[in-house]
Amino acid sequence: MINSTITIFLINSLVIILLLLYVVYELYKFLRTIKQTSLKTYILIFSIVHFSISLIFAFFFDKFNTTDPVKFYVNALEENNWFNLFYIGNSFMSFLIFPFVKLGISFKVLFLLFSVISFKGFLEYFKIIGTEHLEQNTSYILLFLLLPSIHLWAGFLGKEPILFLSMIVLLKKIKYSKYDWGFLGLGLLIFMIRPHLFFVLVFSLVLSIITNKNIPKITKRILVFGSIITSIVFIPIFLRFFLRLEDISFNSMLGYLDDFLILTQNLGNASISISDTTIFTRIFFLIFMPLPLLYNINNEIQLIASMENILFLIIFIIALINYLKNGSKFKALVIDQKFTLIASITLIVFFGSYLYNLGMGNRMRIMFLPYLFYFFINTINLKNIKSKQVKI
Protein backbone atom coordinates (compact mmCIF):
# COMPACT_ATOMS: atom_id res chain seq x y z
CA MET A 1 0.00 0.00 0.00
CA ILE A 2 2.82 2.39 0.94
CA ASN A 3 4.77 1.46 -2.19
CA SER A 4 1.67 2.08 -4.32
CA THR A 5 1.17 5.52 -2.76
CA ILE A 6 4.82 6.43 -3.33
CA THR A 7 4.61 5.23 -6.95
CA ILE A 8 1.52 7.37 -7.62
CA PHE A 9 3.20 10.36 -5.97
CA LEU A 10 6.31 9.93 -8.13
CA ILE A 11 4.23 9.55 -11.32
CA ASN A 12 2.26 12.73 -10.56
CA SER A 13 5.45 14.61 -9.68
CA LEU A 14 7.08 13.52 -12.94
CA VAL A 15 4.03 14.63 -14.96
CA ILE A 16 4.04 18.03 -13.23
CA ILE A 17 7.76 18.50 -13.93
CA LEU A 18 7.37 17.51 -17.59
CA LEU A 19 4.41 19.85 -18.04
CA LEU A 20 6.27 22.75 -16.43
CA LEU A 21 9.34 22.14 -18.60
CA TYR A 22 7.12 22.05 -21.71
CA VAL A 23 5.42 25.34 -20.76
CA VAL A 24 8.75 27.07 -20.10
CA TYR A 25 10.16 25.78 -23.39
CA GLU A 26 7.15 26.88 -25.47
CA LEU A 27 6.97 30.25 -23.72
CA TYR A 28 10.70 30.86 -24.21
CA LYS A 29 10.46 30.06 -27.93
CA PHE A 30 7.53 32.42 -28.41
CA LEU A 31 9.01 35.30 -26.41
CA ARG A 32 12.13 35.18 -28.59
CA THR A 33 9.97 36.13 -31.59
CA ILE A 34 8.68 39.29 -29.90
CA LYS A 35 10.62 42.55 -30.03
CA GLN A 36 8.33 44.88 -28.10
CA THR A 37 8.98 44.81 -24.33
CA SER A 38 5.39 45.73 -23.46
CA LEU A 39 4.06 42.76 -25.47
CA LYS A 40 6.53 40.39 -23.79
CA THR A 41 5.29 41.70 -20.44
CA TYR A 42 1.71 41.09 -21.51
CA ILE A 43 2.47 37.48 -22.54
CA LEU A 44 4.13 36.81 -19.18
CA ILE A 45 1.19 38.33 -17.28
CA PHE A 46 -1.20 36.34 -19.45
CA SER A 47 0.68 33.11 -18.64
CA ILE A 48 0.62 33.79 -14.89
CA VAL A 49 -3.11 34.60 -14.98
CA HIS A 50 -3.87 31.48 -17.03
CA PHE A 51 -2.21 28.97 -14.72
CA SER A 52 -3.17 30.79 -11.52
CA ILE A 53 -6.87 30.69 -12.39
CA SER A 54 -6.60 27.02 -13.39
CA LEU A 55 -4.97 26.10 -10.06
CA ILE A 56 -7.54 28.11 -8.10
CA PHE A 57 -10.30 26.25 -9.96
CA ALA A 58 -8.64 22.90 -9.21
CA PHE A 59 -8.13 23.51 -5.49
CA PHE A 60 -11.49 25.18 -4.86
CA PHE A 61 -13.46 23.05 -7.29
CA ASP A 62 -16.18 22.22 -4.74
CA LYS A 63 -17.10 25.92 -4.58
CA PHE A 64 -18.06 25.99 -8.26
CA ASN A 65 -21.35 24.74 -9.62
CA THR A 66 -20.05 22.26 -12.19
CA THR A 67 -19.98 18.46 -12.13
CA ASP A 68 -18.60 17.55 -15.58
CA PRO A 69 -14.94 17.11 -14.53
CA VAL A 70 -15.96 14.71 -11.75
CA LYS A 71 -18.12 12.70 -14.18
CA PHE A 72 -15.28 12.42 -16.68
CA TYR A 73 -12.82 11.32 -14.01
CA VAL A 74 -15.10 8.87 -12.17
CA ASN A 75 -16.30 7.22 -15.41
CA ALA A 76 -12.69 6.67 -16.47
CA LEU A 77 -11.75 5.41 -13.02
CA GLU A 78 -14.59 2.89 -12.76
CA GLU A 79 -14.39 1.55 -16.33
CA ASN A 80 -12.01 -1.35 -16.98
CA ASN A 81 -12.42 -1.58 -20.74
CA TRP A 82 -11.02 1.52 -22.45
CA PHE A 83 -13.03 1.12 -25.65
CA ASN A 84 -16.35 0.95 -23.79
CA LEU A 85 -15.89 4.71 -23.35
CA PHE A 86 -15.47 5.37 -27.07
CA TYR A 87 -18.73 7.22 -27.54
CA ILE A 88 -19.82 10.68 -28.68
CA GLY A 89 -19.97 13.48 -26.10
CA ASN A 90 -19.14 13.19 -22.39
CA SER A 91 -18.09 9.56 -22.64
CA PHE A 92 -15.40 10.47 -25.15
CA MET A 93 -13.82 12.82 -22.60
CA SER A 94 -13.53 9.88 -20.21
CA PHE A 95 -12.05 7.89 -23.08
CA LEU A 96 -9.36 10.56 -23.60
CA ILE A 97 -8.28 10.71 -19.95
CA PHE A 98 -8.62 6.94 -19.32
CA PRO A 99 -4.86 6.14 -19.69
CA PHE A 100 -3.89 9.01 -17.36
CA VAL A 101 -6.43 8.02 -14.72
CA LYS A 102 -5.33 4.40 -14.80
CA LEU A 103 -1.71 5.53 -14.39
CA GLY A 104 -2.77 7.23 -11.17
CA ILE A 105 -2.70 10.84 -12.39
CA SER A 106 -4.70 12.84 -9.86
CA PHE A 107 -7.73 15.01 -10.50
CA LYS A 108 -5.78 18.23 -9.80
CA VAL A 109 -2.84 17.24 -12.02
CA LEU A 110 -5.32 16.61 -14.85
CA PHE A 111 -6.47 20.20 -14.40
CA LEU A 112 -2.87 21.25 -14.95
CA LEU A 113 -2.60 19.02 -18.03
CA PHE A 114 -5.73 20.55 -19.58
CA SER A 115 -4.59 24.08 -18.72
CA VAL A 116 -1.35 23.33 -20.60
CA ILE A 117 -3.42 22.12 -23.58
CA SER A 118 -5.37 25.39 -23.71
CA PHE A 119 -2.18 27.40 -23.08
CA LYS A 120 -0.71 25.82 -26.20
CA GLY A 121 -3.90 26.88 -27.99
CA PHE A 122 -3.42 30.49 -26.87
CA LEU A 123 0.21 30.52 -28.01
CA GLU A 124 -0.87 29.21 -31.42
CA TYR A 125 -3.57 31.88 -31.42
CA PHE A 126 -0.99 34.62 -30.87
CA LYS A 127 1.25 33.15 -33.57
CA ILE A 128 -1.39 33.08 -36.29
CA ILE A 129 -2.46 36.62 -35.44
CA GLY A 130 1.18 37.65 -35.91
CA THR A 131 3.33 39.83 -33.69
CA GLU A 132 3.08 42.67 -36.22
CA HIS A 133 -0.65 42.86 -35.40
CA LEU A 134 -0.22 42.26 -31.68
CA GLU A 135 2.21 45.16 -31.45
CA GLN A 136 -0.16 47.62 -33.17
CA ASN A 137 -2.98 49.74 -31.79
CA THR A 138 -5.48 46.87 -31.81
CA SER A 139 -3.54 45.30 -28.94
CA TYR A 140 -6.16 46.75 -26.56
CA ILE A 141 -8.35 43.88 -27.73
CA LEU A 142 -5.99 41.44 -25.99
CA LEU A 143 -7.17 42.79 -22.64
CA PHE A 144 -10.18 40.48 -22.95
CA LEU A 145 -7.81 37.49 -22.69
CA LEU A 146 -6.86 38.59 -19.16
CA LEU A 147 -10.43 38.16 -17.91
CA PRO A 148 -10.50 35.39 -15.26
CA SER A 149 -13.55 33.61 -16.71
CA ILE A 150 -11.72 33.01 -20.00
CA HIS A 151 -9.08 31.03 -18.11
CA LEU A 152 -11.55 29.48 -15.72
CA TRP A 153 -13.28 27.61 -18.54
CA ALA A 154 -10.20 27.19 -20.73
CA GLY A 155 -7.97 25.74 -18.03
CA PHE A 156 -9.97 22.97 -16.39
CA LEU A 157 -10.69 19.28 -16.90
CA GLY A 158 -13.35 19.73 -19.57
CA LYS A 159 -14.17 19.84 -23.25
CA GLU A 160 -13.25 23.48 -23.80
CA PRO A 161 -9.41 23.24 -23.60
CA ILE A 162 -9.26 20.48 -26.23
CA LEU A 163 -11.87 22.15 -28.43
CA PHE A 164 -10.13 25.51 -28.18
CA LEU A 165 -6.76 24.10 -29.23
CA SER A 166 -8.44 22.12 -32.03
CA MET A 167 -10.29 25.19 -33.32
CA ILE A 168 -7.12 27.29 -33.33
CA VAL A 169 -5.09 24.65 -35.16
CA LEU A 170 -8.01 24.24 -37.56
CA LEU A 171 -7.97 28.00 -38.20
CA LYS A 172 -4.21 27.85 -38.82
CA LYS A 173 -4.69 25.12 -41.44
CA ILE A 174 -7.47 27.10 -43.12
CA LYS A 175 -5.31 30.23 -43.17
CA TYR A 176 -2.46 28.39 -44.91
CA SER A 177 -4.73 26.11 -47.01
CA LYS A 178 -3.46 22.88 -45.43
CA TYR A 179 -6.45 20.61 -45.98
CA ASP A 180 -4.60 17.41 -45.09
CA TRP A 181 -5.24 14.30 -42.99
CA GLY A 182 -4.53 16.35 -39.87
CA PHE A 183 -7.36 18.66 -40.90
CA LEU A 184 -9.74 15.71 -41.14
CA GLY A 185 -8.47 14.34 -37.82
CA LEU A 186 -9.23 17.64 -36.09
CA GLY A 187 -12.73 17.60 -37.54
CA LEU A 188 -13.31 14.08 -36.25
CA LEU A 189 -12.01 15.01 -32.78
CA ILE A 190 -14.34 18.02 -32.60
CA PHE A 191 -17.26 15.85 -33.77
CA MET A 192 -16.61 13.24 -31.09
CA ILE A 193 -16.50 15.86 -28.32
CA ARG A 194 -19.19 18.31 -29.45
CA PRO A 195 -20.98 17.26 -32.66
CA HIS A 196 -23.07 20.41 -33.09
CA LEU A 197 -19.90 22.53 -33.01
CA PHE A 198 -18.51 20.36 -35.80
CA PHE A 199 -21.52 21.03 -38.05
CA VAL A 200 -21.37 24.79 -37.41
CA LEU A 201 -17.68 24.86 -38.36
CA VAL A 202 -18.32 22.80 -41.51
CA PHE A 203 -21.14 25.18 -42.51
CA SER A 204 -18.90 28.22 -41.85
CA LEU A 205 -16.03 26.76 -43.87
CA VAL A 206 -18.25 25.90 -46.85
CA LEU A 207 -19.77 29.39 -46.85
CA SER A 208 -16.30 30.95 -46.59
CA ILE A 209 -15.06 28.89 -49.53
CA ILE A 210 -18.07 29.62 -51.74
CA THR A 211 -17.77 33.39 -51.20
CA ASN A 212 -13.99 33.52 -51.69
CA LYS A 213 -12.83 34.42 -55.21
CA ASN A 214 -9.18 33.56 -54.60
CA ILE A 215 -9.76 29.84 -54.18
CA PRO A 216 -9.63 27.78 -57.43
CA LYS A 217 -12.95 26.32 -58.57
CA ILE A 218 -11.67 22.75 -58.42
CA THR A 219 -10.60 23.26 -54.78
CA LYS A 220 -13.99 24.76 -53.97
CA ARG A 221 -15.80 21.81 -55.52
CA ILE A 222 -13.68 19.23 -53.73
CA LEU A 223 -14.07 20.88 -50.30
CA VAL A 224 -17.79 21.57 -50.71
CA PHE A 225 -18.43 18.04 -51.99
CA GLY A 226 -16.37 16.58 -49.15
CA SER A 227 -18.29 18.67 -46.59
CA ILE A 228 -21.65 17.54 -47.99
CA ILE A 229 -20.64 13.87 -47.90
CA THR A 230 -19.26 14.28 -44.38
CA SER A 231 -22.51 15.87 -43.20
CA ILE A 232 -24.60 13.11 -44.79
CA VAL A 233 -22.54 10.52 -42.91
CA PHE A 234 -22.28 12.28 -39.56
CA ILE A 235 -25.76 13.83 -39.13
CA PRO A 236 -27.50 10.43 -38.68
CA ILE A 237 -24.76 9.41 -36.24
CA PHE A 238 -25.31 12.65 -34.31
CA LEU A 239 -29.09 12.18 -34.17
CA ARG A 240 -28.88 8.52 -33.24
CA PHE A 241 -26.04 8.40 -30.74
CA PHE A 242 -25.73 11.93 -29.32
CA LEU A 243 -29.39 12.95 -29.12
CA ARG A 244 -30.28 9.28 -28.51
CA LEU A 245 -33.25 9.30 -30.86
CA GLU A 246 -34.70 5.82 -31.29
CA ASP A 247 -35.67 6.59 -34.87
CA ILE A 248 -34.68 9.49 -37.10
CA SER A 249 -38.00 11.17 -37.83
CA PHE A 250 -39.66 14.56 -37.52
CA ASN A 251 -41.84 13.36 -34.60
CA SER A 252 -38.81 12.06 -32.73
CA MET A 253 -37.08 15.42 -33.04
CA LEU A 254 -40.20 17.24 -31.85
CA GLY A 255 -40.38 14.90 -28.89
CA TYR A 256 -36.73 15.59 -28.09
CA LEU A 257 -37.39 19.35 -28.25
CA ASP A 258 -40.34 19.08 -25.85
CA ASP A 259 -38.30 17.00 -23.40
CA PHE A 260 -35.42 19.49 -23.66
CA LEU A 261 -37.68 22.45 -22.81
CA ILE A 262 -39.03 20.62 -19.77
CA LEU A 263 -35.57 19.49 -18.63
CA THR A 264 -34.05 22.98 -18.83
CA GLN A 265 -36.75 24.81 -16.89
CA ASN A 266 -35.19 26.58 -13.86
CA LEU A 267 -31.91 24.70 -14.26
CA GLY A 268 -29.24 26.18 -11.97
CA ASN A 269 -28.87 29.47 -10.09
CA ALA A 270 -28.80 31.52 -13.28
CA SER A 271 -31.44 29.77 -15.35
CA ILE A 272 -32.90 31.31 -18.50
CA SER A 273 -36.37 30.30 -19.67
CA ILE A 274 -36.25 29.43 -23.36
CA SER A 275 -40.02 29.61 -23.70
CA ASP A 276 -40.26 33.04 -22.01
CA THR A 277 -37.40 34.74 -23.88
CA THR A 278 -36.63 35.54 -27.50
CA ILE A 279 -33.47 34.46 -29.30
CA PHE A 280 -32.34 38.09 -29.36
CA THR A 281 -32.61 38.31 -25.57
CA ARG A 282 -30.69 35.08 -25.15
CA ILE A 283 -27.96 36.26 -27.55
CA PHE A 284 -27.57 39.43 -25.47
CA PHE A 285 -27.33 37.29 -22.33
CA LEU A 286 -24.81 35.00 -24.00
CA ILE A 287 -22.44 37.79 -25.02
CA PHE A 288 -22.75 40.42 -22.29
CA MET A 289 -24.54 39.23 -19.17
CA PRO A 290 -24.39 39.52 -16.22
CA LEU A 291 -23.96 43.29 -16.01
CA PRO A 292 -24.42 45.43 -12.87
CA LEU A 293 -27.89 47.01 -12.57
CA LEU A 294 -29.14 44.94 -15.53
CA TYR A 295 -28.99 41.57 -13.79
CA ASN A 296 -29.91 40.40 -10.29
CA ILE A 297 -26.54 39.30 -8.85
CA ASN A 298 -27.00 36.20 -6.65
CA ASN A 299 -23.46 35.27 -5.58
CA GLU A 300 -19.78 36.30 -5.59
CA ILE A 301 -19.00 34.52 -8.87
CA GLN A 302 -21.76 36.41 -10.68
CA LEU A 303 -20.48 39.66 -9.15
CA ILE A 304 -16.96 39.00 -10.50
CA ALA A 305 -18.44 38.06 -13.89
CA SER A 306 -20.41 41.31 -13.98
CA MET A 307 -17.22 43.31 -13.33
CA GLU A 308 -15.50 41.42 -16.13
CA ASN A 309 -18.34 42.12 -18.51
CA ILE A 310 -18.02 45.86 -18.03
CA LEU A 311 -14.46 45.69 -19.36
CA PHE A 312 -15.45 43.23 -22.07
CA LEU A 313 -18.32 45.48 -23.20
CA ILE A 314 -15.96 48.47 -23.49
CA ILE A 315 -13.43 46.45 -25.51
CA PHE A 316 -16.16 45.03 -27.75
CA ILE A 317 -17.71 48.45 -28.46
CA ILE A 318 -14.32 50.05 -29.26
CA ALA A 319 -13.39 47.14 -31.57
CA LEU A 320 -16.76 47.24 -33.33
CA ILE A 321 -16.63 51.03 -33.85
CA ASN A 322 -13.07 50.80 -35.16
CA TYR A 323 -14.05 48.04 -37.56
CA LEU A 324 -17.08 49.93 -38.85
CA LYS A 325 -14.87 52.99 -39.41
CA ASN A 326 -11.71 51.39 -40.74
CA GLY A 327 -12.34 47.68 -41.25
CA SER A 328 -12.02 45.75 -44.49
CA LYS A 329 -15.14 45.15 -46.56
CA PHE A 330 -16.50 41.61 -46.77
CA LYS A 331 -15.43 41.21 -50.41
CA ALA A 332 -11.84 42.03 -49.49
CA LEU A 333 -11.63 39.43 -46.73
CA VAL A 334 -9.38 36.40 -47.18
CA ILE A 335 -10.45 32.86 -46.26
CA ASP A 336 -9.42 32.83 -42.57
CA GLN A 337 -11.03 36.22 -41.94
CA LYS A 338 -14.29 35.18 -43.55
CA PHE A 339 -14.25 31.88 -41.70
CA THR A 340 -13.78 33.48 -38.27
CA LEU A 341 -16.50 36.07 -38.94
CA ILE A 342 -19.04 33.55 -40.22
CA ALA A 343 -18.20 30.98 -37.53
CA SER A 344 -18.45 33.59 -34.75
CA ILE A 345 -21.84 34.88 -35.88
CA THR A 346 -23.19 31.38 -36.52
CA LEU A 347 -22.02 30.10 -33.14
CA ILE A 348 -23.50 33.11 -31.34
CA VAL A 349 -26.87 32.55 -33.02
CA PHE A 350 -26.72 28.79 -32.52
CA PHE A 351 -25.76 28.93 -28.83
CA GLY A 352 -28.27 31.70 -28.24
CA SER A 353 -31.03 29.54 -29.72
CA TYR A 354 -30.86 27.07 -26.83
CA LEU A 355 -29.20 29.05 -24.00
CA TYR A 356 -30.90 28.02 -20.76
CA ASN A 357 -28.29 28.95 -18.15
CA LEU A 358 -26.05 32.00 -17.79
CA GLY A 359 -23.14 29.96 -16.45
CA MET A 360 -23.28 27.74 -19.50
CA GLY A 361 -23.23 30.87 -21.66
CA ASN A 362 -20.01 32.05 -19.99
CA ARG A 363 -18.40 28.68 -20.81
CA MET A 364 -19.53 28.90 -24.43
CA ARG A 365 -17.73 32.21 -25.01
CA ILE A 366 -14.38 30.48 -25.41
CA MET A 367 -15.85 28.87 -28.55
CA PHE A 368 -16.52 32.13 -30.41
CA LEU A 369 -14.85 35.17 -28.80
CA PRO A 370 -11.28 34.26 -29.87
CA TYR A 371 -12.53 33.85 -33.45
CA LEU A 372 -14.43 37.13 -33.31
CA PHE A 373 -11.48 39.11 -31.95
CA TYR A 374 -9.12 37.41 -34.40
CA PHE A 375 -11.37 38.83 -37.11
CA PHE A 376 -11.27 42.33 -35.60
CA ILE A 377 -7.49 42.34 -35.11
CA ASN A 378 -6.82 41.15 -38.66
CA THR A 379 -9.29 43.39 -40.51
CA ILE A 380 -9.15 46.79 -38.80
CA ASN A 381 -7.09 49.33 -40.73
CA LEU A 382 -4.39 49.95 -38.12
CA LYS A 383 -3.05 53.15 -39.68
CA ASN A 384 -6.29 55.03 -39.23
CA ILE A 385 -6.83 54.13 -35.59
CA LYS A 386 -6.01 56.94 -33.21
CA SER A 387 -2.90 56.29 -31.17
CA LYS A 388 -4.53 57.52 -27.99
CA GLN A 389 -6.35 54.18 -27.59
CA VAL A 390 -5.24 51.84 -24.86
CA LYS A 391 -2.02 49.95 -25.53
CA ILE A 392 -0.58 46.93 -23.78
Q: How far apart are CA 81 and CA 37, in angstroms?
A: 51
Q: How far apart are CA 78 and CA 56, in angstroms?
A: 27
Q: How far apart are CA 217 and CA 210, in angstroms?
A: 9
Domain assignment present for residue 390? The answer is: no
Q: Do the beta carbons of residue 235 and residue 199 sit within 8 Å?
A: yes
Domain assignment present for residue 62? The answer is: yes
pLDDT, one tens digit per residue, over 195-229 is: 889 888 988 988 888 887 777 777 777 777 777 77
pLDDT tier for residue 30 given thresholds of 50, 70 and 90:
very high
Phi/psi for 20 (5° steps) reads -65, -40
Domain assignment present for residue 391? The answer is: no
- pLDDT surpasses 60 at 90: yes
- pLDDT surpasses 60 at 366: yes
- What's the confidence (pLDDT) of residue 392? 38
pLDDT, one tens digit per residue, over 232-268 is: 766 666 565 555 555 555 555 555 455 555 555 555 5
| pTM (two decimals) | 0.86
- What's the confidence (pLDDT) of residue 3? 61
Domain assignment present for residue 226? The answer is: yes
Q: How far apart are CA 341 and CA 346, in angstroms?
A: 9
Q: How far is CA 201 from the centre of its chain?
A: 12
Parent domain of 314: 2-384
Q: How many domains does the chain have?
A: 1
- pLDDT surpasses 50 at 297: yes
- pLDDT surpasses 80 at 11: yes
Mean pLDDT to the nearest integer, 20-25: 95
Domain assignment present for residue 392? The answer is: no
Four-residue CA torsion sign, 220, 223, 224, 226: positive
Q: How far apart are CA 383 and CA 137, in angstroms?
A: 9
Domain assignment present for residue 389? The answer is: no
DSSP symbol at 329:
P
* First-to-final CA distance of the chain: 53
Q: How far apart are CA 370 and CA 352, in angstroms?
A: 17
Mean pLDDT, the chain, integer: 81
Least confident of 38-47, 110-119, 185-194, 273-282: 273-282
Mean pLDDT to the nearest integer, 317-338: 84
Q: How far apart are CA 42 and CA 122, in angstroms?
A: 13
Identity (one letter) of the amino acid at 332?
A: A
Identity (one letter) of the amino acid at 56?
A: I
Least confident of 60-64, 173-177, 316-320: 60-64
- What's the confidence (pLDDT) of residue 259? 55
